[in-house]
Amino acid sequence: MSYPKFIIDKKKLKNNAMNALKMCNNLGIEAVGVVKAVNGLDKVIEILIEAGFKTLASSRLSQLKKIKEINPNILTYDLRIPMLSEVDELVSCADISLNSSLEVLKELNRVASEQNKVHGVIIMTECGDLREGIFDEEELLNTVCTIEKELKNLHLLGIGTNLGCYGSIMPTPEKMMELISKADKVSEAIGRRIEVVSGGASTSLPLVAKETMPKGITQLRIGDALYISDLDDCFDYKVFSDDDEAFTLQAEIIELKDKPSHPIGTIAVDAFGNKKEYEDKGIRRRALLAVGRQDLGDCLHLRPLDPNVEVIGGSSDHTILDITESEHCYKIGDIVSFHVMYENLLMLSQSEYVEKEYI
């Protein structure tokens, strides 16, 4: 056995993906499956296709190429605004891309013409999160009109927005109505109804689940809601139960000691430059695991399956647990299991030091 190990339950993943897809389909919303968070793992791509996804997305072109190799009939969707240096490669492997700049769009049109293709584009517009997207309405209308009238090797599919990734702005019915209003203006400006109004990512899914998503949103780009159960507490929504989690991290205990809970000496910063505060709880039973931030990102996002175990910190190679309250008598060599959050999923999926096992 090799640890740390990332276990992926294929049946649970397929069921969770099918449920999300059905939830969107019931409201006439296209669900685009995002594979970036799982590093475009081959078997995960295959499971999403089996679940019924017709369009898969990533911000990494190598993952879009892999999708086409697995199934050339699946539409591929580039999530990140294209770099000018990658437009040739992008048009060759992506059917659709998100865009916000005419300079890039003109290059995409040129390359699509050279490759004898028509490339689908969705223009990103700002609704307040302030990551990518056109903020000025006049610029938005000028951009879509230029595509429609002049860039013959691009097909303007519609517009989209991003919420919650940078500015922490919640997707709300009001924000969706703001996007729909912009979509109506775009449709009027180009003289036809646009096909796609892309209302964000997994953080918009609670609006679908609670049936508060305004009519007029036609697409969501769903990634982490396919893989992990908890959307942030502020969204007040659990995608599926803990028992249906498809991804589990297993890590081995390499040290068990009773130690003070407060470091001793002059406190500076940790290995990552963070100045931290520590609560003094006296002597506690601690377990040291052979997995760390190089493998999984922030260890404090791990969710132990043993409810009486607390993750208290870690470093690049180690995760530290407080096991004082646990009813289980842990020993060196024991395996501790965790469910994960988004950052952990992202890092564990791509770490070459973490074995992947499908069950």
Q: Which residue type is seen at 168?
A: S
Given the residues 36, 66, 175, 182, select the one marked as catalytic: 36
What token pair was written down for 165?
A: 């990734």
Q: Which residue type is seen at 215?
A: K
- Asked about 36 being catalytic, the answer comes back as yes
As a three-state string, the secondary structure of 213-276 is CCECECEEEECHHHHCCECCHHHCCECCCHHHCCEEEEEEEEEEEEEECCCCCCCCCCCCCCCC
Q: By the 8 A CB rule, do 96 and 157 touch?
A: yes
Q: Which residue type is seen at 73?
A: N
DSSP-assigned states of every residue in 46-102: HHHHHHT-SEEEES-HHHHHHHHHH-TTSEEEE-SPPPGGGHHHHHHH-SEEEE--H
277 Ramachandran zone, left/alpha/beta (phi>0; psi -120 to 50): beta
- Could you give the angle at which helices 102-114 and 137-150 cross, rounded to 10 degrees? 20
Q: In sequence order, which residues have a C-beta less than 8 Å from that of residue 307 and are 6 or more positions away? A: none
Is residue 319 classed as helix, strand or coil in its secondary structure? Answer: strand
**Residues catalogued as catalytic:** 36
